[in-house]
């Protein structure tokens, strides 16, 4: 059974055309454009024989019944909202892959054993209300009353925004899904990174989604006159902090059982004046890996070096563990299913972790999950230049269809 590449590609272009004028390709959640895009999607879903509804969290759900009505559905999901000046593929490709699968099954009049639900989850990207994965959070009971009262810069609440999108926030608990109520959750997504390109691979089976550990490090030295203080009599907080940042890079550059990345993304120097020896530096760092053990190893190695550098340079440090989010590991069964499905669709398939979060994070609390990555041009995403090739979008969609047929 083959999907229709031309029809799929036309949908990518049709949805991309629903963008804020003069600001391609922007369709922010909870805006008029977003609603327009979803009206288009609902129309396409209905024409594909799906029964369509919007749930209390304003998730758009198109359902095709299976031959065994007692089975929980296979859910194929992603999102149609974009970041400002975003792209035409992030999230969108996954929803339209689901749509194309529904069209193919409808056209060939095939009913699988399992019901299938194609879902456009509400506001996956960080919204104006400071929250991401809003719709999938509602399913996994991770959307609290407090979150619903978050406001945007105009003072409008997320609760009001969900109502504007067509949801029913007062009854939001009704759209929760129980653990075990979904047979399998699958998401196709552009990689948003350079690994597939770099390895000349057409498709990627995602091994999991990385966990993230974040720290804040404060280095206290002694501010002093930059002209009168000799080099050997300084307690320079900036040079110490710089050495620490390099030490983090060295730690993460070692070879571990799983890939790991570490980044110092914020670096604040005080007093930040050209003739003053820096007296204080604050920096924020994060470490990401699919293996929490590897995260711990890099963190331990780094913190040891922080203490050594602090001693050697005669400064003080304080380290604060800001946050930790656990990784999601795709089960061997689902990986096997997806490897077969991808190998039947494309020549070169690799396995790789996802360095970014997705609706899959929330779904992993409810169901076995799996993701397929397709390459994106220059590994770029969240920018107007974001691009995936027509045949790659088709290969990923075909692999997704192969997977649900095999599973069924």
x/- binding map, residues 52-91, to Zn ion, per CB under 5 A? Answer: --------------------------------------xx
Q: Which of 139, 124, 122, 127 is nearest to 185 (CA)?
A: 139
Buried b (16+ CB within 10 A) or exposed e, 273-306: eeeebbbbbbbbbbbbbbbbebbebbbebbbebb
Whether 185 and 274 have beta carbons less than 8 Å apart is answered as no
Q: How far is the CB of 362 from Zn ion (least distance, A)?
A: 13
Closest separation in Å from C-beta 272 to Zn ion: 36
Conformational region of residue 123, where left means phi above 0, alpha means psi within -120 to 50, and beta covers everything else: left
C-beta of 91 vs 169, nearer to Zn ion: 91
At closest approach, how far in Å is the CB of 122 from Zn ion? 13
State the chain's maximal CA–CA distance in angstroms.
84
- Closer Cβ to Zn ion, 130 or 271, answer by number: 130
Size of the site for Zn ion (CB under 5 A): 2
- State the minimum distance, in angstroms, from the CB of residue 162 to Zn ion: 19
Given the complex with Zn ion, which of 59 and 317 has the nearer CB atom? 59
Which pair of tokens denotes residue 232?
């050997």
CA neighbor of 115 nearest in space, from 71, 170, 164: 71
Residue nearest to Zn ion (CB): 91
91/115 with CB nearer Zn ion: 91
Cβ atoms of 188 and 97 within 8 Å: the answer is yes
**Binding to Zn ion, residues 91-110 (CB under 5 A):** 91
Nearest distance in Å: CB 386, Zn ion: 11
Neighbours of 172 (CB within 10 A): 21
How far out from the chain centre does Cα 406 lie? 26
Residue 95 beta carbon to Zn ion: minimum distance, rounded to whole angstroms: 10
Helix axes 5-16, 390-407, angle to 10 degrees: 120
Distance CA(291)–CA(326), nearest Å, equals 9
42 vs 95, beta carbon nearer Zn ion: 95
DSSP notation for 253-320: TS--SS-EEEEEEEEEEES--TTEE--EEEEEEEEEES-HHHHHHHHHHHHHHHHHHHHHTT-EEEEE
Closest to Zn ion by CB, 91 vs 135, is 91
Residue 191 or 236: the one with the smaller Cβ distance to Zn ion is 191
CA quadruple 86, 88, 92, 96: dihedral, nearest 10: 170
Paired with 25 in beta bridges are none
- Cβ proximity to Zn ion, 206 vs 241, nearer residue: 206
CB nearer to Zn ion: pick between 90 and 120: 90
- Give least dist CB 357 to Zn ion, A: 9
Beta carbon of residue 356, minimum distance to Zn ion (angstroms, whole number): 7
The span from the CA of 193 to the CA of 356, in Å, is: 9
Closest approach, Cβ 333 to Zn ion, in A, equals: 25
Interface ranges with Zn ion (CB under 5 A): 90-91
């Amino acid at each position: 059974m083959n999907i229709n590449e031309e029809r799929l590609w036309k949908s990518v272009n049709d949805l991309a055309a629903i963008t804020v004028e003069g600001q391609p390709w922007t369709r922010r959640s909870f805006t008029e454009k977003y609603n327009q895009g979803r009206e288009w999607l609902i129309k396409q879903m209905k024409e594909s024989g799906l029964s369509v509804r919007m749930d209390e969290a304003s998730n758009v759900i198109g359902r095709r019944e299976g031959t065994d009505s007692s089975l929980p559905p296979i859910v194929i999901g992603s999102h149609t909202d974009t970041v400002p000046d975003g792209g035409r593929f992030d999230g969108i490709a996954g929803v339209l892959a689901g749509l194309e699968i529904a069209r193919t099954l409808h056209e060939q009049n095939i009913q699988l054993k399992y019901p299938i639900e194609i879902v456009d989850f509400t506001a996956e990207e960080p919204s104006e209300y400071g929250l991401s994965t809003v719709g999938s959070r509602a399913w996994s009971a991770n959307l609290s009353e407090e979150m619903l009262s978050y406001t945007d810069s105009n003072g409008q609440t997320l609760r009001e925004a969900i109502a504007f999108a067509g949801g029913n926030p007062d009854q939001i608990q009704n759209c929760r899904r129980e653990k075990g109520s979904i047979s399998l959750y699958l998401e196709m997504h552009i990689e948003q990174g350079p690994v597939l390109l770099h390895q000349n691979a057409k498709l990627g089976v995602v091994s999991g989604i990385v966990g993230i550990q974040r720290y804040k490090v404060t280095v206290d030295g002694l501010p002093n006159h930059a002209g009168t203080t000799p080099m050997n009599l300084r307690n320079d907080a900036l040079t110490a902090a710089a050495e620490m940042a390099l030490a983090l890079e060295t730690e993460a550059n070692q070879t571990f059982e799983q890939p790991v990345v570490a980044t110092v993304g914020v670096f604040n120097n005080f007093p930040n004046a050209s003739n003053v020896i820096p007296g204080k530096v604050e920096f924020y760092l994060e470490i990401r890996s699919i293996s929490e053990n590897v995260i711990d190893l890099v963190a331990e190695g780094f913190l040891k070096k922080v203490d050594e550098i602090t001693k050697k340079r005669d400064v003080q440090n304080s380290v604060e563990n800001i946050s930790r989010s656990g990784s999601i590991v795709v089960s061997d069964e689902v990986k096997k299913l997806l490897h077969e499905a991808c190998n039947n669709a494309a020549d070169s398939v690799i396995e790789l972790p996802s360095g970014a979060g997705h609706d899959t994070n929330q779904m992993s609390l409810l169901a076995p999950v799996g993701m397929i990555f397709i390459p994106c041009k220059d590994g770029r995403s969240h920018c107007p230049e974001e691009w995936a090739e027509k045949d790659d979008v088709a290969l990923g969609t075909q692999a997704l269809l192969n997977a649900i047929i095999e599973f069924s």
